[in-house]
Amino acid sequence: MKLLVLNAGSSSLKFAVFGKDLKLVLKGQVSGIGSKPRLEVDGQPAREVPHVTTPTEGLLVAAEWLADNGHEPARFNGIGHRIVHGGTQYVTPVAVNDAIQHDLEALRALAPLHLPFGLGVLREMRRVASEVPNIACFDTAFHATQPELATRLPLPRSYFDKGYRRYGFHGLNYEHVVEALPGLSGKPLPRRLLAAHLGSGASMCAIFDGKSVATTMGFSTADGLVMGTRTGSIDPGVLVALMRDEHLSLDQLEDLLYRRSGLLGLSGISPDMRILLASDRTEAIEAVDYYCYSAARHAASLVPALGGLDAIVFTGGVGENAGPVRARILTHLKWLNVPMEQVFVVPANEELTIARNVKALV
């Protein structure tokens, strides 16, 4: 059994090969797409690939490298893809055929800044390795267990039927947290678990008996916690005022909310938490303070969905590596009386979750 996992973003294509018993064989990525693209594979020097302008072109570079190094794509037993959105129809991993690809293409409007990249790579890999099962694994699927009350938006009921609802994201990594935490802690999975996925994109999830019951991201990936360049939750009246008073077009508003706000906007320095923590500038300090305070408020808002709290787990690049951020968030939450021995760090691993799902299907 040999599996390939692909994770396409706007500026990168990550890939990983798993062998027997889901042992990781190698990881790599084509990064810097759109600026300074380069091929990076663990243990090898990075190599520039200047002709790559899209994740789909990055896939061809990765596929060529894999073939040259004994991992011909057509010889894998299965290929797994991280697909950001499955809508309400796709809530479990699925082997993709032409009809399903068509269904997924129709969902682009639900995640216009993310879904096209994953679907483009999926389509191309189905062409390159047409005889290999290509399995779509959905970031929204983990949250399909939420009660309907948690998925509704306070809009007229007719909009819910059109798909305007809370979906939630980062589900593949939350699934990994549920699988991995007992092995790391040596204890059964806490019944009432608050998971914080903190990275350039960030969310939190209330997990009860291993299932999602509420999460901070909703209809889009811009909701909830403040992020690297995304606003997180924001008064909708501000958006109306920006369009009316600042004469922002829809495209300009989208760019502001997704690419120029968050830590970058608050600090005016960088969206990178490492840079902000290392800076003594007032703007950087204020941005980090806002991030931690906001995260704690969102964390507290999830506790009613659990009826209490037994444990907290941090994951994602910031959650795993930024100890000062974890400490500040926990300080804001000390009134919850969660013992420190019930606070955990689980390294993110969406690729392993995808590989596990692919193995189960093929």
What is the SS3 assignment for the chain? Answer: CCEEEEEECCCCEEEEEECHHHCEEEEEEEECCCCCCEEEECCCCCEECCCCCCHHHHHHHHHHHHHHCCCCHHHCCEEEEEECCCCCCCCCCEECCHHHHHHHHCCHHHCCCCHHHHHHHHHHHHHHCCCCCEEEEECCHHHHHCCHHHHCCCCCHHHHHCCCCCCCCCHHHHHHHHHHHHHHHCCCCCCEEEEEEECCCEEEEEEECCEEEEECCCCCCCCCCCCCCCCCCCCHHHHHHHHHHCCCCHHHHHHHHHHCCHHHHHHCCCCCHHHHHHCCCHHHHHHHHHHHHHHHHHHHHHHHHHCCCCEEEEEHHHHHHCHHHHHHHHHHCHHHCCCHHHEEECCCCHHHHHHHHHHHHC
**pLDDT band at 112, cuts 50/70/90?**
confident
The two structure tokens encoding residue 352? 């392993």
pLDDT at 114 over 90: no
| Residue 207 CB coordination number (10 Å) | 30
Arithmetic mean of pLDDT, 189-206: 97
Residue 56: what pLDDT? 95
pTM of the model: 0.95
Report the mean per-residue pLDDT for the chain.
96
Share of the chain above pLDDT 90, in %: 96
How high is the pLDDT of residue 34?
Answer: 85
Percent of the chain at pLDDT exceeding 70: 100
Structure confidence by residue, pLDDT tens digits, 303-313: 999 999 999 99
Cβ-based neighbour number of residue 2 at 10 Å? 13
Catalytic residues, which ones? 139
- pLDDT at residue 187 tops 90: yes
* Tens of pLDDT, residues 128-186: 999 999 999 999 999 999 999 999 999 999 999 999 999 999 999 999 999 999 999 99
In this prediction, residue 87 carries a pLDDT of 95
* Confidence at residue 336, expressed as pLDDT on a 0 to 100 scale: 96
212-260 pLDDT, tens digit per residue, is 999 999 999 999 999 999 999 999 999 999 999 999 999 999 999 999 9
Q: Is a pLDDT exceeding 90 seen at residue 10?
A: no
pLDDT value of position 186: 96
B/e letters for 309-319, b = 16+ CB within 10 Å, e = fewer, are bebbbbbbbbb
pLDDT at 113 over 90: no
- For residue 258, how far is the Cα from the chain centroid? 14
